């Protein structure tokens, strides 16, 4: 099947969503996501951050869809035409959705451990939500202890359901979920229980905001002050492939490796995540490569750097400064003696 997104036509397999097709195109055509996670089944369609405008339904039914569609749950059709980055309707709606998500979100960025790798920060910055029109009192929740390793900040939660879906599909017994309805809905264990299965720590990695954070990393450092390294160890429970967040020779945090869309490549166990914080426990492979724009790219030299080529006479880069100045002056041609000297120099 062929689908056209912002004027770019790509071929996709049947069953591909519009969001996945947008990621194949890349660039500004990729809509932001807060609830969708490609590694989890039946995940998406809740945050409405990835709205796109479908200007042509398909070859069989070319009528445009009257309403904006969530790209993460909209199946691509043969001949479909979609506007993402080129649609003012879509961009206006995304800006409104992000403003809605920020209504009850506290201004915790200066103290939040997620700052610098927060999807909501990126969303607000990209949509230019720099000023709030909300003057009412924000919704707040009482602190709740859900175990020794995971810190729950319900005030920051945007109810994306990622952690619930992960617990359903990755762990043998889910003990937390969404409790309450409407404005009173919250992530909770209902009857206070610790989330303590072997893979529970992965909810930290899938959370797009600072609602679920690592207690062992709490208030230790800002992520942009750390160095990130890919490492692995022999583990009988998981692949053992992780990213180490280091400050000097100290390992401050261990997390699963993520791809360019900030999605976990392989989920890791709690033993690797929380119990091995010594460099001797790991085989360090090299610096971690961040594909997506992020503050974590600060001082990261893993991207290939092209050699800068200056379009100027090669002799202008050599010799004395006064000679460089004369040679680089286009309006001052060489005289016969200078041309002869240049020719002799090149022959040598």
Q: What is the pLDDT of residues 153-201, one digit of tens each?
A: 999 999 999 999 999 998 877 888 888 888 778 888 765 667 778 999 9
Both 152 and 90 in one domain: the answer is no
> 195 versus 85: which is more confidently predicted?
85
Cα angle vertex 17, ends 7, 28, to 5°?
40
Both 137 and 47 in one domain: the answer is no
pLDDT of residue 315: 58
User: What range defines the domain where residue 168 resides?
Assistant: 104-214
Distance CA(32)–CA(103), nearest Å, equals: 18
SS3 103: coil
The stretch 80-104 carries a mean pLDDT of 94
Residue count of the chain, please give it.
Answer: 348
Cα angle vertex 32, ends 27, 33, to 5°?
135
Other CB atoms within 10 Å distance of the CB of residue 15: 9
Give the chain's mean pLDDT.
87
C-alpha dihedral sign at 292, 298, 303, 304: positive
Structural domain count of the chain: 3
Q: Is the pLDDT of residue 331 over 60?
A: no
pLDDT of residue 143: 87
Boundary-marking domain end, from 214, 240, 271:
214
Distance CA(263)–CA(232), nearest Å, equals: 18
The stretch 214-238 carries a mean pLDDT of 93
Is 183 within a domain? Answer: yes
pLDDT band at 93 (very low <50, low <70, confident <90, very high): very high
- Of 30-44, 50-64, 176-190, give the lowest mean pLDDT range: 176-190
CATH number of the domain residue 133 falls in: 3.30.70.20
Boundary-marking domain end, from 172, 189, 214:
214
pLDDT of residue 297: 65
pLDDT of residue 146: 86
Highest mean pLDDT among 110-114, 292-296, 329-333: 110-114
Among residues 217, 328, 235, which one has the least CA distance to residue 282? 235
pLDDT of residue 342: 75
Is 326 within a domain? Answer: no
Model confidence, pTM: 0.80
pLDDT of residue 293: 64
CATH number of the domain residue 54 falls in: 3.10.20.740
Q: Is the pLDDT of residue 312 over 70?
A: no
Is 311 within a domain? Answer: no
- Of 21-25, 90-94, 215-219, 294-298, give the lowest mean pLDDT range: 294-298
Both 111 and 206 in one domain: the answer is yes
pLDDT band at 257 (very low <50, low <70, confident <90, very high): very high
Distance CA(105)–CA(118), nearest Å, equals: 13
Could you tell me what percent of the chain has a pLDDT over 70? 86
Is 247 within a domain? Answer: yes
Q: Is the pLDDT of residue 263 over 90?
A: yes
Helix (H) / strand (E) element for 246: namely strand 241-247
Boundary-marking domain end, from 160, 191, 214:
214
Is 151 within a domain? Answer: yes
């Amino acid at each position: 099947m062929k689908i056209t997104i912002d004027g770019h036509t790509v071929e996709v397999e049947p069953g591909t969503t519009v969001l996945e097709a947008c990621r194949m195109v890349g660039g500004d055509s990729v809509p932001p996501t807060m609830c969708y996670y490609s590694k989890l089944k039946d995940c998406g369609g809740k945050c409405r951050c990835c709205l796109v405008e479908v200007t042509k339904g398909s070859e069989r039914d070319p009528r445009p869809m009257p309403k904006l569609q969530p790209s993460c749950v909209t199946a691509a059709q043969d001949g479909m035409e979609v506007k993402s980055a080129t649609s003012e309707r879509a961009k206006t709606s995304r800006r409104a959705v992000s403003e809605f998500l920020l209504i009850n979100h506290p201004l915790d960025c200066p103290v939040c451990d997620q700052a610098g790798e927060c999807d909501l920060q990126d969303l607000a910055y990209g949509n230019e939500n720099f000023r709030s029109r909300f003057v009412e009192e924000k919704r707040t929740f009482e602190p709740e202890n859900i175990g020794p390793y995971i810190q729950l900040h319900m005030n920051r939660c945007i109810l994306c359901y990622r952690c619930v879906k992960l617990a359903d599909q990755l762990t043998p017994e889910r003990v937390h979920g969404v409790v309450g309805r409407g404005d009173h809905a919250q992530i909770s264990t209902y009857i206070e229980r610790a989330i303590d299965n072997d893979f529970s720590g992965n909810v930290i990695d899938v959370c797009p905001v600072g609602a679920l954070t690592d207690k062992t990393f709490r208030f230790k450092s800002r992520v942009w002050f750390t160095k990130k390294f890919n490492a692995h160890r022999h583990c009988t429970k998981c692949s053992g492939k992780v990213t180490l967040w280091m400050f000097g020779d100290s390992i401050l945090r261990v997390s699963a490796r993520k791809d360019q869309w900030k999605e976990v490549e392989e989920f890791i166990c709690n033993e690797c995540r929380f119990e091995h914080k010594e460099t001797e426990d790991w085989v360090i492979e090299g610096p971690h490569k961040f594909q997506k724009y992020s503050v974590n790219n600060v001082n990261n030299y893993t991207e290939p750097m092209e050699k800068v080529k200056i379009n100027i006479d090669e002799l202008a880069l050599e010799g004395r400064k006064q000679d460089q100045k004369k040679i680089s002056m286009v309006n001052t041609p060489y005289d016969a003696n200078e041309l002869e000297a240049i020719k002799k120099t090149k022959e040598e």
